[in-house]
Amino acid sequence: MKRGHKITLTVAGIIILIPVVFILTVQAGFFGRLPGKRQLLNYKNATASVVLSAEGEMIGKFYSENRTVIEYDGIPAHVTEALVATEDVRFHEHSGIDTRSLFRVIFKTILFRDHSAGGGSTITQQLAKNMYGRKDYALLPLFLNKTREALLARRIEKVSSKEEILTLYLNTVSFGENLYGIEAASQRYFSKSTPELKREEAAVLIGMLKANTLYNPRLHPDNALRRRNVVLHQMERYAYLDKRKADSLCALPLELDYSKIDLAGPADYFMVRVRNEAGRILSDLTPFRGREWDIEREGLVITTTLSLPLQQAANEAFAVHMPRMQKRLDEQYGTSSGRRSLRDIPDSLRKMMTTLHAGLLALDPSTGAVRAWVGGIDHRLQPYDQILARRQLASVFKPVIFAAALEDGMEPCRYLENDSVTLSDFKDWSPENYNHSFGGKYSLAGALAQSMNIPTFSLFMLIGFDRVEEQWNKMGFSFPLDNTPALAMGTAEASILEVAQGYASFANGGMAVKPHFVKSIADSKGNILWKNEFPQSDEKVISERSSLLMGAMLQKAIREGTGASIHSVYGVRIPLAGKTGTSQNYADAWFAAFNPGLVIVSRVGASTPAVHFNSGRYGSGSALALPLVAMTLKKAERDPELMREINVPFPELPPELEAALLCPDFREKTFFDRLIDLFDDDEILYEEAGKRRRSILERIFRR
C-alpha cells in the first residue's frame, strides 16, 4: 500500500508539476519574451488617419488597419453591457482569468466534447490576443498561446482599470471587412458614431465578435438578426434589460445604413493627391519634430481644401451627363462605319476603346486651394486620373496667345485679318474658321469671343512664336510647344490641372498660383502639427491690366460665344468668363470657366483620339464638356454658403479699360486695308508670315 501511495503521489505531483513548469517556462520567456509593464502601458493601436473636407466632414481614411480610436466616455453603457453579458459575464469580478469558465471548458469541452459549453477566454485574454496576436509554435501551439494570453491578461489587469480594458478591447477587436474597433464598425454599418448607436445596433456589432463573417449584417442579415437577438436576451438574462424591453427590441427588423467610404468615397481621386501632399508635409516635419510619422498608423486628422458640397455636385453631374453621352457614343459606333472598323476586336476591348473618360477640377484662384476634384468616371475601374492626363487643348489654348498680345501692348480693339493664307512650306496648310467664313476684320475681343481661327492665326503671326512660348511657360504649362502654324489652332497639349492653374491668373489679377490640397494636419489628440497659411503669391504671370482685360474678353465669350448655353440653357446665375475647346475630329472637348472666386475646368474624351463623336452636335466643347461644369454650378448655387464663395463679381473696369473694349467685333475692310492687301501674297512661307503686316511703305519699298 505504501508503494502504491508513493506511485500515486508521484504521478499526481508530476501532473501538477508539468503545468507549473510549463507556465513558468512561458513566463520566463523560453517561448518568446512577454511584454512588460512599460510596454503594456505604452501600447498603441495602429489607428487610421481621418481625412476631412474643408467643412469638417469625413471623406476618407488612410490605414493599415481601419481603426478610429474612441475614448471610454464616448462608448454608451449599453455597448459595454452587451459586451460583458455576451463575452464575459464575470468580467468585473475576475483579475484576467475566469477560473470557473476555464474549468467548465476543460471538463465539458475537452473531456466530454460538449461544444455548447462556450469559450473560456475572458475579455482581457481576448484583448491580449488582439494586441499581440498568436505565434506559430511547432509544439503545442494552442496551449502555448493560451498560456501566454492568460499571463498577459493578468499583467494587463495589474496596470489597467476595467474601464481602460473595455476601451482598449473595443478599439482593438476586428469586425471583419478590414475594420478594427467599434467606431470604424459603427461608421461602416450604421453611418454614425459610436455614441449614437441604439441598443439594437450595438447588439448587432457585439454579436459579430463571435464570427465576424458569419454574422456580418450586410453579407448574412438573417444570421446577424438571430445573433443580435441572442445578445439582447443575454442582456436580459444578466439584468441589463427587462424582459419587456428585450422582447420589443428583438421584434425590430435589422436596419443598416452601410457606408463603405474607404472604397467608394466622394473624392477617391482627390484622396490620392492628399496622401501624396500630406506625405511630403510629414516628411518635411521630421527634422523639426524629431520623429517620423506613419500616415497609416498615427490616427492623424488631415483637413483638406475640398468643398464637399461642390464635390458632391460635380459627382452628380458626372452621374447624369456621362452615361447619357456614353449611350450616344455607343449608338454611333453601333450604326456607323466606325463599328465596322472595330468588328474584329473582342467586345471587352471595343468597350474599353469606346469608353468616354472625363475630369473636372475646381480651385480657388486666389490661393490655389482645390475645391473639387473628379478624376474620372470610376476610381475602382478607371484609376488613371484624367485631371493629370495631357491632351490637345484646341481653342482653350487661344487665351494664351491673346494674353501674350495684351502683354505686348496690343489693345482689345486692334483689328485682325480674316483673310486666309496658304503656307507653301507646310504642304499648303491654311487656317479655316469653323463656319468657313472669311474676309473683313475681327477685333481681338471679337476674335476671342467668337473663337475665330483665321484672326487668331493672324495674331499669332504678329506677335511670333517666341512670345507665345514665353507666355505659355510663365502661366505654368510644362509641355514643350512646337513652332508650327497649327499651334495657333490649339495643337499644344496640357492637363486639366495646368489649364486651371493658367486660367487662375486671369481671375486673380495676374498672379501665379500653386494648387494644393491640405489645410492642416493634427495628431490624434488634436494638436496642430502643420497648418497652411495660404500665402499670397508674389509671382506675376501677366499684368493686372492684362488680367482685367482677359477677364472682360472671356466674359464676352461666355455671353456671346460658344459658352453662352451655361446661362441660357442651364440657368447658371453666377458671373463667369471662360472658353470652350474642341480638338480635331471632336477627339477631346474642353470647357474652362472662372470668376474671382472660382476656376473650374472639364474635359471629356475617349482614351484614344481615334474614337470620337462624328459631329459637333455631341462632340463639341459646348455639348460634351460644358454641361459637366454647368450642372455642377447649378447644383452648387442651391447651397447658400457655397453660393457666397463662388458668386464673386468681376471687378469694375476703370474708365480707360472700358473704353478700350468699345468697338464692334467685326468690320468690313476700308480702302486703306484693301490697298495694303495689294501687297500681300495668298501663298507665303511660314517663316515669312510674321512679316506680312509691316508698314505699307516698307512693303512698297521691298517690292
| Burial letters 616-643, b for 16+ CB under 10 A, else e | bebbbbbbbbbbbbbbbbbbbbebeebe
Which residues lie closer than 8 Å to 247 by C-beta, 6 or more apart? Answer: none
The residue ranking higher by pLDDT, 677 or 554, is 554
> What is the predicted pLDDT for the residue at 43?
67
The least confident of 258-267, 293-302, 607-616 is 258-267
Cα separation, 441 vs 588, in Å, equals 29
> What is the predicted pLDDT for the residue at 695?
42
Cα separation, 205 vs 186, in Å, equals 8
Q: If residue 374 lies in a helix (H) or strand (E), which one and from where to where?
A: strand 370-374
Q: At what angle do helices 398-407 and 465-474 cross, to 10 degrees?
A: 100
Q: How confident is the model at residue 703 (pLDDT cuts 50, 70, 90)?
A: very low
The least confident of 143-152, 187-196, 317-326, 364-373 is 143-152
Task: Sketch the domain layout of the chain as residue ranges.
Answer: 1-30, 34-48+63-250, 312-517+541-660
Phi, psi of 358 (to 5 degrees): -155, 155
Q: What is the DSSP string of 502-550?
A: HHHHHHTTSB----B-EEEEE-TTS-EEEE---PPP--BSS-HHHHHHH
The residue ranking higher by pLDDT, 111 or 361, is 361
Each residue's pLDDT tens digit, 36-59: 667 666 666 778 899 999 999 999
CA dihedral of 218, 221, 224, 228, whole degrees rounded to 10: 110
Cα separation, 444 vs 666, in Å, equals 10
Give the percent of the chain with pLDDT over 90.
Answer: 65
Each residue's pLDDT tens digit, 536-569: 778 999 999 999 999 999 999 999 999 999 999 9
What CATH number labels 34-48+63-250?
A: 1.10.3810.10
Q: How confident is the model at residue 161 (pLDDT cuts 50, 70, 90)?
A: very high
Residue 416, beta-bridge partner list: 442
The least confident of 90-104, 402-416, 471-485 is 90-104
Asked if 703 and 678 count as a contact pair (C-beta separation under 8 A), the reply is: no
Question: What does the mean pLDDT of the chain come to?
Answer: 86
Each residue's pLDDT tens digit, 619-633: 999 999 999 999 999
Q: How confident is the model at residue 261 (pLDDT cuts 50, 70, 90)?
A: low
> What is the predicted pLDDT for the residue at 699?
44
Above 60 in pLDDT, residue 62?
yes
The residue ranking higher by pLDDT, 23 or 383, is 383
Overall average pLDDT of the 80-88 stretch: 95
Above 90 in pLDDT, residue 693?
no
The least confident of 61-70, 96-105, 306-315 is 96-105
Q: How confident is the model at residue 660 (pLDDT cuts 50, 70, 90)?
A: very high
The least confident of 127-131, 163-167, 468-472 is 127-131
Overall average pLDDT of the 177-181 stretch: 90
> What is the predicted pLDDT for the residue at 548?
97
> What is the predicted pLDDT for the residue at 336?
47
Residue 356, beta-bridge partner list: 606
Each residue's pLDDT tens digit, 325-358: 999 999 998 744 444 455 558 677 778 889 999 9
- Ramachandran sector of residue 417 (left: φ over 0; alpha: ψ -120 to 50; beta: rest): beta
Q: How confident is the model at residue 687 (pLDDT cuts 50, 70, 90)?
A: low
DSSP 274: H
| β-strands 528-531, 49-52 pairing | unpaired
The least confident of 128-132, 208-212, 469-473 is 128-132
Residue 511, beta-bridge partner list: 540
The single residue listed with the C-alpha cell 490649339 is 490
The single residue listed with the C-alpha cell 463573417 is 213
Above 50 in pLDDT, residue 461?
yes
**Looking at domain 312-517+541-660, what is its CATH homologous superfamily?**
DD-peptidase/beta-lactamase superfamily (3.40.710.10)
The single residue listed with the C-alpha cell 455607343 is 330
Phi, psi of 232 (to 5 degrees): -65, -40
Give the percent of the chain with pLDDT over 70.
Answer: 81
Above 80 in pLDDT, residue 31?
no
Q: How confident is the model at residue 444 (pLDDT cuts 50, 70, 90)?
A: very high
In the chain, the largest separation of any two C-alpha atoms, in whole Å, equals: 142
Cα separation, 59 vs 70, in Å, equals 19
Asked if 388 and 360 count as a contact pair (C-beta separation under 8 A), the reply is: no
Above 50 in pLDDT, residue 700?
no
Above 60 in pLDDT, residue 418?
yes
The residue ranking higher by pLDDT, 336 or 408, is 408
Which is nearest to 358 in space by CA: 319, 332, 331?
319
> What is the predicted pLDDT for the residue at 135?
61
